[in-house]
Amino acid sequence: MYDVLRASYRFHCPHRPEGQLRTVALSRFRSIERLPGAAHPAVFRVTYLCDCGDDHVGLVAHDDLDYGPIAATPVEFRNLVTGRTEPVAGELVELTRAQVQKGNWPWKLFCGREAKLKPVFPSSLALVSPADSELVGVAMHCPSCGELSLNVVSEAHLDVPFYHDRVVRLIDRPFLDSRDLTVDDFHERLWSAGFDAERAKLAS
Ligand SMILES: [Zn+2]
Ligand SMILES: [Zn+2]
């Protein structure tokens, strides 16, 4: 499901049913919604921007969504020095363990209510939308307080586990109630005239 070497999830493209799975980085997800019912494992409905240019919908198990990027998915790569095919899962698990022990976490986003960066998982994201050429807007349900926060981050901040932007921008409290946040509201907010001003005064 997850392609560790490309830091991407893999999905079918309905336009190419016989074709190879397409790689889709987290920053190209557009919405993530937990399906009611299924619990073991939980299943998420993901809308993603495919490299064919269309948005598609796929289902992802909770483990794949949150742990695929950091866990022991068996991976082999061709070592160009030795010419041998070698497994890398053990090294990746070791890297993850060392980072978490240092207090680093694969993904962090800024919670407006708590006014601090919080460790999150991909399943904490509700909506993702391009904000400008290099930035994406993220609507995040904080795992600790449940509040919805809107952040603006680089693609790499989402796509590369343990990599964090120096500044994570928060769009402060745009909605009275998180249930009011529709995709259209979110886009409008990201592109609103106040966006630049808000970005400039935001906390790190
Ligand atoms: Zn496609
Ligand atoms: Zn919070």
Q: What is the CA 106 to chain-centroid distance, rounded?
A: 10
Write down the pLDDT at residue 96.
82
Query: Does residue 73 lie in a domain region?
Result: no
Considering every ligand atom shown, identify the ligand nearest to the alpha carbon of residue 48 and give its number: 1
Considering every ligand atom shown, identify the ligand nearest to the alpha carbon of residue 142 and give its number: 2
Considering every ligand atom shown, identify the ligand nearest to the alpha carbon of residue 20 and give its number: 1
Q: Tell whether 117 and 192 lie within a shared domain.
A: yes
Domain count, the chain: 2
Q: Tell whether 57 and 118 lie within a shared domain.
A: no
Q: Tell whether 118 and 189 lie within a shared domain.
A: yes
Query: Ligand 2 center to residue 147 CA distance, Å?
Result: 6
Query: Does residue 99 lie in a domain region?
Result: no
Cα–Cα distance, 84 to 82 (Å, whole number): 5
Query: Ligand 2 center to residue 119 CA distance, Å?
Result: 10
Query: Ligand 1 center to residue 80 CA distance, Å?
Result: 32
Query: Ligand 1 center to residue 51 CA distance, Å?
Result: 6
Q: Tell whether 195 and 115 lie within a shared domain.
A: yes
Domain stops at, among 26, 43, 61: 61
Cα–Cα distance, 152 to 144 (Å, whole number): 20
Q: Which segments in the chain show pLDDT lower than 70?
A: 5, 72-77, 79, 88-89, 173-180, 192-204
Range of the domain at 10: 2-61
CATH code of residue 19: 2.40.50
Q: Tell whether 122 and 193 lie within a shared domain.
A: yes
Query: Ligand 2 center to residue 142 CA distance, Å?
Result: 5
Query: Ligand 2 center to residue 167 CA distance, Å?
Result: 18
Q: Which residue, chain included where needed, has tokens 């742990």?
A: 67
Write down the pLDDT at residue 141.
92
Query: Does residue 94 lie in a domain region?
Result: no
Considering every ligand atom shown, identify the ligand nearest to the alpha carbon of residue 52 and give its number: 1
Write down the pLDDT at residue 183.
78
SS (H, E, C) the chain: CEEHHHCEEEECCCCCCCCCCEEECHHHEEEEEEEEEEECCEEEEEEEECCCCCEEEEEEEHHHHHHCCCCCCCCEEECCCCCCEEECHHHHHHHHHHHHHCCCCCCEEEECCCCEEEECCHHHEEEEEECCCCEEEEEEECCCCCCEEEEEEEHHHHHCCCCCCCCCEEECCCCCCHHHCCHHHHHHHHHCCCHHHHHHCCCC
Query: Ligand 2 center to residue 109 CA distance, Å?
Result: 10
Query: Does residue 76 lie in a domain region?
Result: no
Residues 89-99: tens digit of each pLDDT: 677 778 888 88
